[in-house]
Amino acid sequence: MARERVNINLSDWRQLSNNARAGIKKEILKYFIIRDSSDLERVERAALLIACKAWKQWKSRLVTEFVDQDKSPLELYPMIKKEDWVEFKSAKSTKEFKDMSKSKRELAKTYKNHHKMGTAGYAGMSIKWDKEDEEAELCGLPKQFEEIKDPRARDWMRARVTCDAKTDFKPKFRNEEDITAYKRLVRGFRC
């Protein structure tokens, strides 16, 4: 959907017009049955997030598989206009772009605290977390990460670490960086 409706030379998804966003949402939502109207906003948001991610990944593939290989994608992707491809290739072949791309790849390798929310994001997960907190309260168990007082910091930690009632909501850490972040948040510091 995003490939067909969004120009490859748009530098940032946030620059996409409201009309284009509405068209993408409308097209994607044709495939969903939404029974509860209160879910509509969350489903629309998730649809746009998925479209954005797919569009970015596709542009990245265009660079690695076509620009870097000096090939043309026009036959494989007929929605790309020749003049758009020339502009895209030119922009992605500059030294500045290659240097920035390399630095971003290196920066991405250093990040260790990856979230586990999927496409739901904080908005979708907050509903789930609120229900979990209610269930814990009804069972007389502590809420997940209740020792972290700042609500945003608590949500940040919940997005990255597994906790469940079976372990009395004791966190299961995936790496040393999560443990360090948890200890700092309990003491009241931000990550």
Tell whether the model's pLDDT for residue 191 goes beyond 50.
Answer: no
3-state SS assignment for residue 87: helix
3-state SS assignment for residue 114: coil
* pLDDT tens digits, one per residue of 25-55: 889 888 888 888 878 888 888 888 889 999 9
What is the C-alpha separation between 155 and 120, in angstroms, rounded? 13
Tell whether the model's pLDDT for residue 57 goes beyond 80.
Answer: yes
What pLDDT is recorded for position 99? 95
pLDDT confidence of 172, banded at 50, 70, 90? Answer: confident
pTM of the model: 0.65
Q: Lowest-pLDDT range, 62-71, 99-108, 176-185? A: 176-185
Tell whether the model's pLDDT for residue 159 goes beyond 60.
Answer: yes
What pLDDT is recorded for position 67? 95
Q: Is 8 in contact with 62 (CB distance < 8 Å)?
A: yes
Q: Is the dihedral of CA 97, 102, 107, 113 positive or negative?
A: positive
Question: How long, in residues, is the chain?
Answer: 191
* pLDDT tens digits, one per residue of 112-152: 778 888 777 888 888 888 988 888 888 888 888 888 888 99
